[in-house]
Amino acid sequence: MVKNYDEFTKKMDKSLSFLKEELGAIRAGRANPRVLDKITVNYYGTPTLISQLANIQVPEARQIIIQPWDGKILNDIVKAIQMSDLGLNPNNDGKAIRLVFPPLTEERRIDLTKEVKKLGENNKIAIRQIRRDAVETFKKSEKAKEITEDELKIAEKDIQKFTDEYIEKVDKIVELKINEIMEV
């Protein structure tokens, strides 16, 4: 066969990685330093990620401690966290910032599971679009007489098999995150 499936499976892998990254930033009642991944602080005129400005620790299941290397930016980090959509109130003791994660309410858990399902569904749509592009690529190759009609049919079956596998992976990732959110 003239073409292989590597470029399409790489795109599907990237899509899965993106989903894991997005889900990692969703607060599930447990302290997870990844919730800080998208929060930036204005550090000497440059938006900088908190993880690049401080040591981040998780001493307990529901607490994160942020210890900046430069003590002058403590208040800037507090403001950035307050401005974010985390819904957490940082405690500043002059040397470090404590983030205490309160238990999620049942209503908030349900909202988060809806958000997780939506992210999963969007990821499935992206994977199906990659499948569509792959099939189109092979159809063009068949029209250009680069592959035979039989090879096209085999390619379509293989691509569908990959797509089904990736959609199954998305479902498992979403299910794990929902279980994590619903865990009391």
CATH number at residue 131: 1.10.132.20
CA 136 to CA 169: how far, in whole Å? Answer: 24
What b/e string do you get for 37-59 counting C-beta neighbours within 10 Å, with b at 16 or more? eebebebeeeebebeebbebeee
Same domain, 167 and 131: yes
The dihedrals phi and psi of 38, each to the nearest 5 degrees, come to: -105, 5
Domain boundary among 71, 100, 129: 100
Per residue in 140-168, pLDDT (tens digit) is 988 998 889 999 999 999 999 999 999 99
Q: What is the pLDDT of residue 2?
A: 42
> 68 in helix, strand or coil?
strand
Same domain, 44 and 89: yes
Same domain, 64 and 155: no
Which structural domain, as residue segments, surrounds residue 166? 6-24+105-182
Q: Domain total for the chain?
A: 2
Could you give the C-alpha distances from 69 to 50, 58, 75, in angstroms and in order?
Answer: 11, 17, 13
What b/e string do you get for 162-182 counting C-beta neighbours within 10 Å, with b at 16 or more? bbeebbebbeebbeebbebbe
Same domain, 110 and 95: no
Confidence band, pLDDT 50/70/90 cuts, at residue 1: very low
Domain boundary among 84, 100, 116: 100
Residue 160 is assigned to a structural domain of this protein: yes
- pTM to 2 decimals? 0.71
CA 9 to CA 131: how far, in whole Å? Answer: 9
CA 173 to CA 134: how far, in whole Å? Answer: 24
Give the whole-number percent of the chain exceeding pLDDT 90.
38
Give the whole-number percent of the chain exceeding pLDDT 70.
96
Residue 164 is assigned to a structural domain of this protein: yes
Confidence band, pLDDT 50/70/90 cuts, at residue 121: very high
Same domain, 62 and 89: yes
> Strand 46-49 to strand 40-43: parallel, antiparallel, or no bridges (unpaired)?
antiparallel
Domain boundary among 100, 115, 148: 100
Same domain, 91 and 38: yes
CA 12 to CA 175: how far, in whole Å? Answer: 19
Mean pLDDT for 70-77 is 88
CATH number at residue 85: 3.30.1360.40
